[in-house]
Structure 1
């Protein structure tokens, strides 16, 4: 058994493409450090390729709505807009109105507002502009987060080697599907992930990304657990 394990470790130490799933957590940074310490030998640093993979959340539903969907969202928006005044501006109706706004294209909104009173037209159009500014700010924040995570990861791997080949990849969608797809597409020899050590309830509700990947990717998967402080 011991010799078999040694053979497997030795295989992993040879020239390879290593995908490390990174995010804003300390667990993923620890997994990256562990990978560089244990899976990449000094002699083979120049032969190995480290691929840092970050997954952004999936885009909102509105990107795929058709004309019927937009009209439905407008009707819902209009109803919520009136409900907002009934409830004196509750946060729930405000948030729902904002979401409905970004589900509607500008041309569609102007067309549907054509027969409404002038004050309603202007009010809803201004709200539409505000909602799209919110979406733009959220998208910018998302990319700022990507850059921040990649900068932290870069600081980690440069402590180990400045000559190793490193690639940075960003995917969008469900983390389980994106990671599995990327591993196959990139021809990874091994996938390294950090264990977030979620409790039973959260794991049952969200599912475990590492468990899913371990079952569906063809290459070995190493899930690294960060020691408790």
Structure 2
């Protein structure tokens, strides 16, 4: 089975990863044991996906010369890559601890559209996304990656809701940062 898990910096996405590793994916050791008993089970593969939002480049007129903020663009791109690397390091460690084969994919674009495209390109059997538990009003204005994927992905979509205490902690953290 090929499972794609959408990750970001949120506790909810890592809760979804751990939930899937515990409840859906078979560790390599179980597959080896089954194959030794005569059964042929294929190894599960987990795609760990983090999508960076595209950076809007701005062009500033400076008299007859046009100035683009390439240094700003490069620094934002490096910061995004550093965040992705941190997310992947943590997620790969979780997969290794559970003895699950995984691959990391860093993509760029609008997350909901890029996830659906990656599902199709990689022939994924299941897409897993975490839920931040946005209210109806916030979801209407901000959009919902999980809702979009549930309607547009070409495979089953599992939306993993975190326990109330984890969702509450995350909501408080978002309000403090605003």
Q: Which residue of 1 aligns with 2:55?
A: 59
TM-score by length of 2: 0.78
What aligned pairs does 1:1-229 form with structure 2 within 5 A after superposition? Answer: 16-42=1-27, 43-44=30-31, 47-60=43-56, 62=57, 99-101=58-60, 112-113=64-65, 128=67, 131-161=69-99, 164-229=100-165
2:26/2:44 contact within 8 Å kept: no
Cα offset for 1:143?
Answer: 0.6
CA deviations 1:168-218 (Å, max 9, x no partner) are 111111111100000000000001111011122221112111111111112
What is the RMSD computed on CA atoms of the aligned residues? 2.1
Alignment coverage as a number of residue pairs: 154
Runs of 4+ in 1 over 3 A off after TM superposition: none
Where structure 2 has 5 or more consecutive residues not aligned to the other structure, the ranges are 33-41, 166-178
Q: Distance in 2 between matches of 1:203 and 1:44?
A: 40
SS in structure 2 of the partner of residue 51 of structure 1: strand
Where structure 1 has 5 or more consecutive residues not aligned to the other structure, the ranges are 1-15, 63-98, 114-124
1:23/1:149 contact within 8 Å kept: yes
User: Which structure has the greater CA radius of gyration?
Assistant: 1
Cα offset for 1:155?
Answer: 2.0
- Against the structure 1 CA distance between its residues 215 and 157, is the aligned structure 2 distance closer, same or farther, given a 3 Å change threshold? same
Of Structure 1 and Structure 2, the greater helix share is in 1
